A and B are shown apart, each in its own frame.
Chain A
């Protein structure tokens, strides 16, 4: 299975390609002044993340990533940007909250640095040898002694959000 070319496995090649896709897309999002283009870059970046899920043997999450993030959220963002015509060509590169954004991203970077790269809070555990299948995931979501409660709470939350959206959007008659 392991195809080795010039000292790299095919997996390493795929990882490198997906990294370029993800990071390149992310840089595209922040560097682009055109918001629609930014949305397209965001989708490219999210596509790269879906690729990482495939590499991690989690095809279900990969498909959900594409379906939810590209198929639904990405299109929703594009749609919202298109409806606000003045937002498509921004002149300003910074707004008043730039320092807040910088602080948040710096904090996240330091957090990940301390947690993963310098294992400050203890060693990162090795991934388990047994890879869970999609069936395992499905059973875990509905079995009584695993994640059925969070699953149901999430569905209740989404229902509440949906009803709220309908109430807000409803025209007064």
Chain B
């Protein structure tokens, strides 16, 4: 009690001061660091440097691409180690616990200890398992998430590859994750694993529909499927202000794609023991979990790139390395919201999950898409859309944003009204019937009315 009263404000002040100091430090360092990166030939122009040292030009090119791939693929894996700590601390705080606090300062080294523990565990392949499929599915799981990072623009100058079809590439690559789960479930030769896999197919494929449709909105607003193009189109105004409904839909359905609470039916501990990964142990099990942790943060990164301006922030054009900081800060914001959802919301039932997707998210996303495309055309016709020259200007974007925002507000009001009427209808039926509505699964027959 005394702890809370005396330390409440002090606890808040310390992290804020730390963040401000870190920001200032980062900004002080980023500029010289960036000019160092650009001036130093050997880092910015590795192939040229290697050629000067007498290496075959083709080999030099290959080496530089290889290093780029290695860095892009290692970065999310390294972040994941820290994320596990963040997740555990965050969950602990929500549940009024302290969380990991023994290994290292604030328990920071705990994830490393966990990795060591997992490496030491016995690597089991169950009898009757399909060895090839069983062993390859954790790899495919991690791969499907890692591949997304190839198209993420970290700063104006640092992007793995700027694909013309970046957004479509993301959807295509993410769909491979479903395959990994179903392969793991089948190859384990375990009925709980298979049941988990069956649920996955229904859930992940269903939620891919609103995910892809809401992804079309930023693509349409930017007029480009390239991730770099989408970020650059947000120089003047973030897309989340033009289309909050699409951002909401994308966030919800991407949370469902990760298979986490409240959408964690594929591993529902109380029903399926552990779901599709029940037979996995040691590092193979860890790879599934690394894939999941990474997927959650990757969704944060995608939210940042698609809806909240990616690497854009103050002074980013002077010191492009700041862009990496802005991107990760925005991603962390969405990541923390997703952790909050995970820890605060109860798990939904399978019929609720399906009804929520097919009767709410999908129709809403289709109506939203039609509305945005109609309004965009209207805005262009009456001539208040920003010209291509001043599209980077904040002021020039305001009229278009207001029109789109009003459209979104009307849509939200309509949806709320529909939900209210449905709720009213349901309550009315309850009162008239004189009994509580049975919560039956759709496939089950209606239970007998309470007549006896």
Contact = CB atoms under 8 A, between A and B. Distances in A.
B233 to A, nearest CB: 15
B178 A71 contact: yes
Contact of B164 (A3, A75, A134): A134
Contacts of A60: 164-165, 168
B175 A71 contact: yes
Interface stretch (A19-27, A61-69, A120-128): A61-69
Contact of B168 (A34, A64, A72): A64
A34 B201 CA distance: 21
B183 A40 contact: yes
> Interface of chain B, helix or strand or loop or mixed?
helix
B227 to A, nearest CB: 13
A133 interface: yes
Given A3-B58, A67-B171, A67-B172, A72 B164 contact: no
Given A71-B172, A82-B194, A59 B164 contact: yes
A82 B183 CA distance: 10
A171 B172 CA distance: 33
B87 interface: no
Nearest to A34: B130
Nearest to A133: B164
Given A70-B179, A75-B179, A63 B169 contact: yes
Contact of B133 (A37, A74, A82, A133): A37
B182 A78 contact: yes
Interface in B175-230: 175-176, 178-179, 182-183, 186, 194, 197-198, 201, 205, 208, 225
Contact of B179 (A4, A63, A71): A71
Interface residues of A, number: 25
A79 interface: yes
Nearest to A40: B133
B176 A70 contact: yes
Nearest to A65: B172
B205 A66 contact: no
Interface string B140-175: 000000000000000000000001110011011101
A2 to B, nearest CB: 8
Contact of A75 (B171, B172, B182): B182
A55 to B, nearest CB: 15
A66 B172 contact: yes
B163 A74 contact: no
B445 to A, nearest CB: 10
B61 interface: yes
Interface string A1-33: 001110000000000000000000000000000
Nearest to B57: A3
A72 B175 contact: yes
Given A67-B175, A71-B179, A72-B175, A37 B130 contact: yes
A49 interface: no
A151 to B, nearest CB: 17
Contacts of B176: 66, 70-71
A101 B22 CA distance: 69
Contacts of A34: 130
A63 B172 contact: yes
A70 B175 contact: yes
A82 B164 CA distance: 37
A72 B182 CA distance: 12
B186 A82 contact: yes
10 shortest interchain CB distances as A-B pairs: A71-B175, A67-B172, A66-B172, A3-B58, A63-B168, A63-B172, A59-B165, A79-B201, A63-B169, A63-B165
Given A59-B165, A70-B176, 10 more contacts: A3-B61, A37-B133, A40-B183, A43-B179, A66-B173, A72-B175, A75-B178, A75-B179, A79-B182, A82-B197
9 contacts: A36-B133, A40-B183, A63-B169, A64-B172, A67-B171, A67-B172, A70-B175, A75-B179, A82-B197
Interface of B: 58, 61-62, 130, 132-133, 163-165, 168-169, 171-173, 175-176, 178-179, 182-183, 186, 194, 197-198, 201, 205, 208, 225, 443
